[in-house]
Structure 1
Amino acid sequence: MPLVWVTGNSGTGKSTVCGMLRARGYVAFDADDDGFSRWVDRDTGEVVPDPPYPVPEGWLDRHGWAIVRERVEALAVESRSRVAFLCGSVENEADVGDLFDLVVCLVIDDDTLRHRLATRTTNTFGRHPEELAASLMWNPRLREIYERCGATIVDASEPPAEVVERVIGAAHDLAGSGR
């Protein structure tokens, strides 16, 4: 069965999708909250356990949110008996891309992104001007990047239940194709 990477920009609804998948009985993990990702210093490779808040100017230029390959490898092995979802966004995604059978990218427009980052209650990323600027810079690029890679693109400005249906549908389409 497929291992599905559900990705997208901050504020596109990855955590919401993850929670709804879990509520429907699917194996689903949040790469942020379930220990798959961490902040690292790009120059030294050191893990940064508690980044400053708000991040000072230039902090995001030196540090990155990275996934731990060994955690994803273990999930890939454990999830072969049924569809499993890992939801998140990391800068070293290429380091684990070979472990996924399907990539689903959630996309939203800039106005929706601004609104969601300003009003979400699950975490504070995106409220600081430097974080918001980084998210807005990447927003139009992500769709382009993932389309070129053959990912399934899902408009996450739709109601969450519809977004989840599209994500599940893409996974079941892949599972049904025998891949």
Structure 2
Amino acid sequence: MAYQGDPETGTRTENHIWHVDKVKALVANQDEAVTFFCGGSRNFSKFIDLFDGVFVLEVDLDTLNRRLDERPENEWGGKNTERELIARLHQTKEDIPKNGIIIDATLPIEHVVDEIVRQSEENKRQRQI
């Protein structure tokens, strides 16, 4: 679903974006009760309104850099140019959805998943009221 492209035109560039039509098709598919989309996309503004909720997994810069250090160079974020962009976006928060629910992703993965599930269930209950 993800590829490197311009957020407006889709033309190939260094930006990490999602295929909007694929996102729309997955959102429209009602075969599953719940669908989670994981990851970031520089063109999220083209489809974020389709989602019932958005979680922002937040980490400090040291944790981010440590995790990026573990990536091979052929994964996104493994190259220095990509890491410079990631560091800038982390600092400016320019590509973070404004109404996202913040989740502390420095915690162990089990706690992160439990919090996402808890918040999802709470969000669902609020929508039913």
TM norm. shorter chain > 0.5: yes
Q: Distance in 2 between matches of 1:45 and 1:86?
A: 20
Count of residue pairs brought into register by the alignment: 128
Q: Please, which runs of 5 or more residues in structure 1 have no aligned partner?
A: 1-35, 49-61
Deviation beyond 6 Å, 4+ runs, structure 1:
none
1:28 corresponds in structure 2 to: none
Where is the strand percentage greater, Structure 1 or Structure 2? Answer: 1
Matched, 1:110 2:75: no
TM-score (norm 1): 0.62
Alignment RMSD (CA, Å): 2.7
| CA pair 80-175 structure 1, distance change in 2 beyond 3 A | farther
Q: Please, which runs of 5 or more residues in structure 2 have no aligned partner?
A: none
The answer as to whether partners of 1:42 and 1:63 remain within 8 angstroms in 2 is no
Matched, 1:156 2:105: yes
1:40 corresponds in structure 2 to: 5
| CA pair 42-139 structure 1, distance change in 2 beyond 3 A | closer
Q: Distance in 2 between matches of 1:69 and 1:144?
A: 17
Q: How far is 1:111 from its partner?
A: 0.7
Q: How far is 1:74 from its partner?
A: 1.4
Q: Which has the higher contact order (CA 8 A, sep 6+)?
A: 1
Letter paired with 2:70 = T
1:127 corresponds in structure 2 to: 78
The answer as to whether partners of 1:117 and 1:127 remain within 8 angstroms in 2 is yes
Q: How far is 1:68 from its partner?
A: 1.5
TM-score (norm 2): 0.83
